[in-house]
Structure 1
Amino acid sequence: MYERRRRRSKTRSQVMLQQRLMGLLLVVLSVVMLIVCAHGTTIEDRDGTGAFMVLPMGLYLIFTKNICIYW
């Protein structure tokens, strides 16, 4: 029984690591999108709506204790 519990917690820690890495990737993606939007020449090029939608998702994936990703 102890072995099963240890295996389960290892799996949870691996899933949490993957989730935090995905959250970090989303935050980096939103920063890159904001940089690209800052150098746009037209109003459509400067639209950063996508970055402001992706950033909170990434932050939530990084700081939550719940598992939000499912494989």
Structure 2
Amino acid sequence: MPYGSQEEAYKNATTLAYLTADTVLAAWMRLKYPHLTVGALASSAPILQFENIVPPDTFYNIVSNDFKACCS
């Protein structure tokens, strides 16, 4: 979590700019093209989802349950 806490990260547009899908894409790029990349920084990326290791809806269920818990 950038800035150390959810409250700080969600405070304004400047801090929210770091919470993007780019980190998920970085992990995917590293997995798909390991011969072209040296590394990737992916915070909370659903890496296993791309490898068909878990059922396809598992990540979405976890995210949905987390959202319901924090925002209800």
TM-score range, shorter chain: 0.3 to 0.5
Q: TM-score, normalised by structure 1?
A: 0.35
**TM-score, length-normalised on structure 2?**
0.34
User: Structure 1 or 2: larger helix share?
Assistant: 1
The higher-RCO structure (CA 8 Å, 6+ apart) is 1
